[in-house]
Chains A and B, each alone.
Chain A
Amino acid sequence: MTGTDERPLLTIDGLTKWYGRQLGCRDVDFDLYEGEVMAVVGESGSGKSTLLQLLSGQMEPSSGCVVYRQRDGSIADVWQMSEPMRRFLFRTDWGYVHQDAQLGLRMGISAGGNVGERLMAVGWRNYAAIRDSAKSWLDRVEIDSNRIDDTPRTYSGGMRQRLQIARNLVTAPRLIFMDEPTGGLDVSVQARLLDLLRRLVADLNIAAVVVTHDLAVARLLSNRIIVMKAGEIIETGLTDQVLDDPSEPYTQLLVSSILPV
């Protein structure tokens, strides 16, 4: 236990977003600790995507705060930071995996360039080192390093998603946000991706917030879960607790709607 910081990595307090008179989400509170994976579930329109955007610093909340413990141990409200700081955080200490890989990748740039971009952004200026790092990351996400100079256009859906993950993890972030990471993939491809994510998150001790409508994904990846409905958290707890012993009517409905495997 020596040397580890017991304070939360991310503290969310009263996070609320209004789109005019339309509610995005309201009064969201939770703490996320190092290495924890939090799933946010709910149907479309429940506010889970709004929440992810607020958490990841992409959209400013109407009220409430997102407080992050930085590598040096200092605590900062993401929306009180200067924009350069926030953007720096976003491309070094944080990652974001989009459901649509086209949003998370540069489709006209080779896989190596996609993975290397974050390194170059933090000042890496040695081509060979950047390329070696890109190769080892492609290897970790099970992409043949012979494909390093191909653009993601030539990749399958599952490969694109894995490339996106490599692109995010190359700077060893401590926190990663994922928006339906397995959405739109074939079942077999999903299984492979989930397994990979599960392993990487555990090996690298990364904290993650995963938005998904798929409770099976939540069960496999997450330790904790938030159930959202109409913009509010209606139930939260350990993932297996919420899924095995759901207390809210809506959660019971969600759980009972899973197709038996």
Chain B
Amino acid sequence: MLSLEVAGVAKTFTMHLQGGLRLPVLQNLEFAVAPGQCVALSGPSGVGKSSVLKLIFGNYRCDEGTILVRDGDTMVDVARAAPRQILSLRRRCLGYVTQFLRAVPRVSALDIVADALSDLPRETSRARAAAMLSRFNIPERLWNLPPATFSGGEQQRINIARGFLPEKPVLLLDEPTASLDAKNREVVIEVVREHKRRGAAIVAIVHDDLVREAIADASLDITRFAAAA
């Protein structure tokens, strides 16, 4: 049983503002991830690793192929799913962990993290958000402030905390440890291992070799699928 199955995926960007310039990125992408497994994407920067995550998450449209994500007993094809199905899949089955904060004005750090568990009662989600913030060493005095004014590192950790909080079957990690200090990098490794133990299928972009070795079960070189321009 697999949690994620990608087959025959191709992606090309057409830049209409540059006279219809076509930028092929990926072709014939193929891989699968089982529950509890972590696949690390590798290859030089610009080869399309982030595009892979965005295709799976439904941020990028898929030109060809299938992207099957397990939803209970069925597999949903993100490449063909209606917007509503993708939203529902993201809410229940697909997590995306990134450092980049989409700042929401006036919402406190605690609530930004707790919002990731919006299905739970407020009390519970806040308690669990608080625990996660402490793990990532965010001082308690910052919890009730909106993160827009925090330091870059703090904002990054808040976002990672938010991404790791819900226990979803498939997790996409987009450089979760970049520019973290050693202490917090250890926390990420710990948290990823916990997710794996509970059966999450993980696709990760990790530049840090130490972290990759600590979490990845397999490595997938995206260069193999890079489309010839």
Contact = CB atoms under 8 A, between A and B. Distances in A.
Is there a direct interface between A and B, measured as CB atoms under 8 Å apart in the complex? yes
Interface of A: 33, 36, 191-192, 194-195, 198, 202, 220, 223-224, 237-238, 240-241, 244-245, 247-249, 252-253, 256
Nearest to A239: B83
A241 B61 contact: yes
A interface, over-half SS: helix
B97 to A, nearest CB: 16
A241 B105 CA distance: 22
Given A202-B118, A238-B87, A241-B58, A195 B16 contact: no
Given A192-B105, A195-B107, A238 B86 contact: yes
Interface in B54-71: 54, 58-61
B58 A238 contact: yes
Contacts of B1: none
Contacts of B84: 33, 36, 224
B182 interface: no
B142 interface: no
B17 A238 contact: no
A252 B23 CA distance: 15
A191 B146 CA distance: 13
Interface in B103-136: 104-107, 118
Contact of A237 (B14, B17, B83, B106): B83
Contacts, number: 51
A195 B61 contact: no
B15 interface: yes
Given A248-B16, A252-B15, A252-B17, A241 B87 contact: no
Nearest to A32: B84
Contact of A244 (B14, B54, B106, B118): B54
Contacts of B105: 191-192, 194-195
Residue in B14, B59, B84, B104 whose Cβ sees the most chain A Cβ within 10 Å? B84
A192 B59 contact: no
Residue in B14, B15, B104, B105 whose Cβ sees the most chain A Cβ within 10 Å? B105
A249 B104 contact: no
Nearest to B62: A245
Contacts of A33: 84
Given A191-B105, A192-B105, A223 B59 contact: no
B78 to A, nearest CB: 10
A249 B106 contact: no
Given A191-B105, A195-B107, A241 B59 contact: yes
A224 B106 contact: no
Interchain residue pairs A-B with the least CB separation, the first 8: A249-B16, A191-B105, A245-B60, A238-B83, A195-B106, A244-B59, A252-B16, A224-B83
Contacts of A223: 83, 87
Interface in B5-22: 13-17
Contacts of B14: 247
A245 B60 CA distance: 5
Contact of B60 (A202, A244, A248): A244
B54 A220 contact: no
Given A33-B84, A244-B59, A252-B17, A195 B118 contact: no
A208 to B, nearest CB: 14
A36 to B, nearest CB: 7
Contacts of A238: 58-59, 83, 86-87
A244 B11 CA distance: 14
Contact of A195 (B54, B59, B87, B104): B104
Contact of A245 (B59, B83, B86, B118): B59
Given A192-B105, A195-B106, 12 more contacts: A36-B84, A191-B105, A195-B104, A220-B104, A224-B83, A237-B61, A237-B83, A238-B58, A238-B83, A238-B86, A247-B14, A247-B61
25 contacts: A36-B87, A191-B105, A191-B106, A192-B105, A195-B104, A195-B106, A202-B118, A223-B83, A223-B87, A224-B84, A237-B83, A238-B83, A238-B87, A241-B59, A241-B61, A244-B59, A244-B60, A245-B61, A247-B61, A249-B16, A249-B17, A252-B15, A252-B16, A253-B16, A256-B17
